[in-house]
Amino acid sequence: MAKHLIFGAGPIGTATALHLARKGEQIVVVSRSGQGPSHENVHLVPGDASDPTTVAALADGATAIYNCLNPAYTRWAIDWPPMATALLDAAISSGAVYAICSNLYGYGPVDGPIGTDAPLNATGTKGRVRAAMWADALAAHSRGEVRVTEVRSSDYLGANAESHLGTRIVPNILKGKGVRVVGDPDAAHSWTFTEDAARTLVAAAASPQAWGRAWHTPSNPPKSQREAIADLASAAGVDDIPVKGMSRSMVSTIGLLVPTVRELRETYYQFGSPFIMKDSETRSAFDLEPTDWRVVLDRHIAPFLAASI
């Protein structure tokens, strides 16, 4: 059986591992803690993804390497480059397909719906980091050194997802309390289900037609933050929740005290106006459709409901 090597045991890494394991594949999941999903076909290994020697040794004999890492939001510029280099070099030396789980940051501010043909014109630090990671991988692919693909998603919903509609929002919804969101609460926004991102990543890694380019995860029709919160409240059996927005200046002020909020200044544009992802090419190429919206909502709030019991 093929060996699939997954770096990162967060929501995407876990979903990717389980998706492959249920197909009977042999999976190795690498994380700093050595923890991850439980399945008879999944082997959990502690490891530092920034250590090229460790990564190269683990990659030996791998059919595919999946980059599902997620460094601390405040440390992207520091932590991403050595990890991305180690994984790309390991894919080159092992001959494995290299599949990168990514996002839309690399595009920067874009007018209108975003397709994969949009240039990577990010001006912020995080966006430039993600764009550089793909540029390096694509250059190696173009030189014939490796087979690479990248799957980009919008903001996540799903069990334990790090989400703008996550730990800061859902607990208040369950209490019937009002919430405040970043940007314009009525701006249309694409939301991606974590398990759909994993399915797309697996499909792209396995498909020669996917190599050498990026793909967008099939996602449900856009919903504003106000609409998504109302849907989450309905799924939880809660009455409508008052929603207010945070202006750019408010985000900057709060950011003086809260480092994570400070980082949101760079990506405020994603919530200050419509931010919509196009995914028709992916749907057609891999015959994939997004998971039903109601299922997404139920999966997203399930851990919060369990914690409140």
pLDDT exceeds 70 at position 95 = yes
Query: Which structural domain range is residue 64 located in?
Result: 3-158+191-219+277-291
pLDDT exceeds 90 at position 252 = no
Q: Is 238 inside any structural domain?
A: no
Q: How confident is the model at residue 1 (pLDDT cuts 50, 70, 90)?
A: low
pLDDT at 130 (0 to 100): 98
Sheet strands side by side (includes 147-153)? 42-46, 26-31, 3-7, 64-67, 97-103, 147-153, 213-216
Cβ atoms of 20 and 26 closer than 8 Å: no
Q: Is 185 inside any structural domain?
A: no
* CATH for 128: 3.40.50.720
Compare 21 and 248 and report the one with higher pLDDT.
21
pLDDT at 139 (0 to 100): 98
Cβ atoms of 37 and 22 closer than 8 Å: no
Whose CA is closest to 268, among 247, 293, 243?
A: 247
Q: Is 123 inside any structural domain?
A: yes
Contacts of 175 (CB under 8 A, 6+ apart): none
d(CA 5, CA 202): 12
Q: Is 286 inside any structural domain?
A: yes
What is the pTM for the complete model shown?
A: 0.96
β-sheet bridge partners, residue 244: 180
Domain count, the chain: 1
Q: What is the pLDDT of residues 3-18, one digit of tens each?
A: 999 999 999 999 999 9
pLDDT exceeds 70 at position 222 = yes
**What's the alpha-carbon Rg for the chain, to the nearest Å?**
19
Q: Is 122 inside any structural domain?
A: yes
Vertex 30: Cα angle to 28 and 34 (nearest 5): 110
Q: 288, exposed or middle or buried, with CB in 10 Å at 0-12, 13-18, 19+?
A: middle
Coil, helix or strand at residue 87: helix
Q: What is the pLDDT of residues 103-155, one digit of tens each?
A: 999 999 999 999 999 999 999 999 999 999 999 999 999 999 999 999 999 99
Please, where are the H alpha helices in the chain?
11-21, 52-59, 76-94, 125-142, 170-174, 194-206, 225-235, 248-255, 259-263, 269-272, 280-286, 293-308
Contacts of 152 (CB under 8 A, 6+ apart): 102, 103, 104, 106, 116, 214, 215, 216, 217, 277
Q: What is the pLDDT of residues 31-67, one digit of tens each?
A: 999 999 999 999 999 999 999 999 999 999 999 999 9
Q: Is 228 inside any structural domain?
A: no
Q: What is the pLDDT of residues 275-304, one digit of tens each?
A: 999 999 999 999 999 999 999 999 999 999
Q: Is 303 inside any structural domain?
A: no
Coil, helix or strand at residue 243: strand
Cβ atoms of 178 and 233 closer than 8 Å: no
Quick one: three-class SS letters along 29-80? EEECCCCCCCCCCEEEEECCCCCHHHHHHHHCCCCEEEECCCCCHHHHHHHH
Whose CA is closest to 146, among 215, 93, 206?
A: 93
Mean of the per-residue pLDDT values for the chain?
Answer: 96
Contacts of 38 (CB under 8 A, 6+ apart): none
Residue 144 sits at φ, ψ, to 5 deg, of 80, 20
Q: Is 234 inside any structural domain?
A: no
